[in-house]
Amino acid sequence: MKYIHFYTLFLMLVFHTSCGQNQTNPPQDNTRQGYTESQLKEAATTKGVPVGMVRHVRKARNGDILIASWLAVFRYDGTSFTNLTGKIISPRFASFWDVLEDRKGNLWFASRVSGVYYYNGKSFQHFTIREGLANNSVGKIYEDKTGNIWFATGGGASRYDGKSFRNFTTKDGLPNNDINSIMEDKTGKLWFGTRGDACFYDGKTFTVLKNKDGKAFKNVWSIIEDKKGNIWTTGEVNPKVWALSRYDAKSLYDKMPTVTEIKSGGRMSFLGILEANDGGIWVGSAGADGGGVQRYDGKTITHFKSKEGQQ
């Protein structure tokens, strides 16, 4: 139960708001403004704690919680935190956005400015544009069914097969090079949420998904597939409105898939999505909706607010 409580806490934090070969020298002006020296020192220690913005929280194969915080990536074993990135880069120059443990037990760390770090349990390896990565700004890591590791970067989608990178950009048909999210559905198609559209890739071509008005999204933050095969997205419909949308599994690959807009709201209203064990859809919110987390049970949406927010 302690894992469940901790995971829920950090999930809400996420919603509310990468020394190996060829290490990149971080920009010297990239100091962590807003953090005290004591916070920076604590984050650098083996037994520090997550400080600042937490972009993603993942579960390790053994049940531990992996936390990608702004200053470092941590493992929580139910009792204490362990800094996994202290030997890679100083918290003063760090800015981690995601973490992934692959099926072989290797760890991957994504950073905002320094590419990707790989740890096999013994040594670190550093991947940047010099090794073939599309861009050094990496916001999301994903492992597909065949074991390829995908990276959502600011310059396209990068696929690593264990030996080399294959990059996908607008030259290959990707609608936008700035990627927010990557997901593989049950049929093996890859879905991409970009700073522009949502699209899927069938191995040959990219197909853009339209919103309920038949137009492309302006910004897609998150994409998931639920247990029934429906696709859920959070995206910007216009500069002032964001929406949580569901695409029906039966018509998903038709020219005009059936789409239901569950809810719309102000700017940056809907961010990360998660399907709970009971089938409920949880979505992180921000901006005009007051932030926090909301849950859709198939009929109604509940916005969890503080007592002050309810007044």
Is the pLDDT at 53 greater than 70? The verdict is: no
Q: What is the pLDDT of residues 5-17, one digit of tens each?
A: 444 444 444 444 3
Average pLDDT estimate for 272-300: 81
Mean pLDDT for all residues in the chain: 81
**Cα distance between residue 68 and residue 14, in whole Å:** 10
Token readout for 289 is: 């909706």
Dihedral sign for Cα 214, 196, 110, 118, please: positive
Average pLDDT over residues 274-282: 88
List the end-to-end C-alpha distance of the chain, in Å, as a whole number: 32
Domain ranges of the chain: 19-168
pLDDT per residue as tens digits for the range 119-151: 998 999 999 999 999 999 999 999 999 999 999
Q: Is the pLDDT of residue 85 over 50?
A: yes
Q: Return the structure tokens found at 61.
A: 């194969």
pLDDT 10s digits, 90-119: 555 558 888 999 999 999 999 988 899 999
Residue 285 has pLDDT above 90, yes or no: no
CATH superfamily of 19-168: YVTN repeat-like/Quinoprotein amine dehydrogenase (2.130.10.10)
152-185 confidence digits (pLDDT tens) = 999 999 999 999 999 999 999 999 999 999 999 9
Residue type (1 letter), 54 = V
pLDDT of residue 166: 97
The confidence band for 30, taking pLDDT boundaries of 50, 70 and 90, is: very low
